Amino acid sequence: MNNFFQFLLHFIFIATFLFVYIIAIIILKPFRLHRKRKISTISLKLSYLIYLAFFLAFVYLVLFFADNEVNTEENMEDGTSVIYYAIVLVSFFIPNIGIMIRRRFKKNRGSYNYVVTVLNFLIILALVFMMSHVQWNF
């Protein structure tokens, strides 16, 4: 019976994350091109969707497969967990704020799109770095 509840919990999270991702695709309309800024717009939208996939996968993996047996006091003393928390907070807020306020930039929107695209890819690299340093319990 316990395995059924674990399966159900995994299924609910996967379904919810897929629903969030599909809603993001519907709202962003990633292949709807802007007349003047075709490349910068599509690069921003695609980098955001790639970021969102990595972030949702990271959250899923941490929720269900992170090794909780590791001594957290050691990580707190050397400051790595504080850095990880800061990276997670930044990686949650910066891309989401960046995609939400993009229409407020009228003059330099092309440059803004490229800057936020680079930030999205840097955050993806930070998430991959964190994924490689977490002890997983599969």
| Residue 138 covered by a domain | no
DSSP notation for the chain: -HHHHHHHHHHHHHHHHHHHHHHHHHHH-TT---SS-HHHHHHHHHHHHHHHHHHHHHHHHHHHHB-TTS-HHHHHHHTHHHHHHHHHHHHHHHHHHHHHSGGG--TTHHHHHHHHHHHHHHHHHHHHHHHHHS-B--
In the chain, the number of structural domains is 1
**Mean pLDDT of all residues belonging to the chain:** 87
| Residue 105 covered by a domain | yes
* Digit-coded pLDDT (tens) for 80-91: 778 888 888 999
* Digit-coded pLDDT (tens) for 20-47: 999 999 998 888 877 788 888 899 999 9
| Enclosing domain of residue 65 | 2-133
